[in-house]
Amino acid sequence: MQLWDYAKLSDDELLQRIESAKRKLGAVILVHNYQRGKIQKIADFLGDSLELARKAKEIDAPVILFCGVMFMAEMAKIINPDKVVLIPDAQAGCPLAAHASAGEIVKMRQKYPEYAVITYVNSSAEVKAVSDIVCTSANAVKVVESFPKNKGIIFVPDKNLCHYAKAQTNRENIVCWDGNCYVHDRFTSDDVKNACKKHPDATVIVHPECPPEVQNRADVIASTGGMYRYAQSHRGETIVLGTEIGMAERINSEFPDTPTFPMSKSAICSNMKLITLAKVARALEQDMYEVNVPQSVAEKAKIAIERMLEL
């Protein structure tokens, strides 16, 4: 069956196929918070990058189907290499990850030989392989603080998360890479001002991938997992989220008593949204697309990822 044949099926038919293929394969479905609502609903586990990495490590089933972007699926393969890892669309990359290459990091290391390289998970396996340690938006501060205060750091590839880590740790000797996420970097302080005007009682939570002026105006800065936990523990509060719209979709669906608004309805990660029910059904029935990382890269990247998971 081709993708267009799956696309003609109703959601109910696709869900039945997904359930039965999943049982046959013994697959576990991991889903990131930015996925479409319909994909969030088929998750065995739904979370942020750090939560998904931890989950991927402990999975005992033979197959992991990853509904997210490629670096997340690669990370699952690296930390649990005996499993078959599938991603429903091989084109679902993260453009932020493309902001840094392994060759550029090696050159930067030559320029700053005494510095440690901290790499955000939104990066390729090759870049992780030439890094000292990986971090996510949930633990960037903790990872920076795991180095002595006088140690210089090169922080790759998101400049806004780097700014956040610098500000939170009060450190100056951090060199920020010049990358950004096209979804979060577009938020402006006017977006925060307008959201506050529209929802005067709301708590404004923004992702640390947002620009510094947006972070400065927010009430809380958090990873998507942090946003979820905030809503879970502040039921009934109104919340505005400066992040991809999928996060508000999840909170509104699970906590309907906690009105949650995206700061911008156009904050859509089209890469995350490439995953559809039709592609998930095809992936499980036709074992596609299998994610593999060359062993020499995977072994080195694993060291940097494990260092983070051990913190």
Contact positions toward ligand SF4, by CB under 6 A? 69, 94-96, 122, 181-183, 209, 244, 269, 271-272
| Contact of residue 95 among ligand SF4, ligand 13P, none (CB under 5-8 Å per partner type) | ligand SF4
> What is 160-198 written as a DSSP string?
HHHHHHHHHHT-S-EEEPSB--TTTTT--HHHHHHHHHH
The CB-of-53 to ligand 13P minimum distance in angstroms stands at 9
Question: 223 has which bridge partners?
Answer: none
Structure tokens at 132: 């000292």
Separation CA 192–CA 175 (nearest Å): 28
Query: Across the chain, which distance is largest between two alpha carbons, in Å?
Result: 59
Torsion of CA 241, 247, 250, 254, to 10 degrees: -40
CB of 254 vs ligand 13P, minimal distance in Å = 16
- Angle, CA 162 vertex, CA 142 and CA 133 arms, to 5°: 50
Min separation Cβ 67 and ligand SF4, Å: 12
CB closer to ligand 13P out of 96 and 195? 96
Q: How many residues bind ligand 13P (CB under 6 A)?
A: 11
Q: From the list ligand 13P, ligand SF4, none, which binds 169 (C-beta under 5 to 8 Å, kind-based)?
A: none
Degrees, nearest 5: CA angle 128-216-223: 40
Indicate whether 74 belongs to the interface with ligand 13P (CB under 6 A).
no
Query: Rounded to whole angstroms, how far apart are CA atoms 9 and 287?
Result: 19
CB of 207 vs ligand SF4, minimal distance in Å: 8
Q: Which is nearer to ligand 13P, 14 or 226 (CB)?
A: 226
Cβ nearer to ligand 13P, comparing 126 with 209: 209
| Interhelix angle 11-25/277-286, nearest 10 degrees | 30
Question: Would you say 1 or 311 has its CB closer to ligand 13P?
Answer: 311
Q: Could you tell me the strand order of the sheet in which 45-47 lies?
A: 45-47, 27-32, 63-67, 84-86
Candidates 17, 22, 30, 33: give the one binding ligand 13P (CB under 6 A): 33
Site string for ligand 13P, 130-149 (x = CB under 6 A): ------xx------------
Binding site for ligand 13P (CB under 6 A): 33, 48-49, 122, 136-137, 181, 207, 209, 223-224
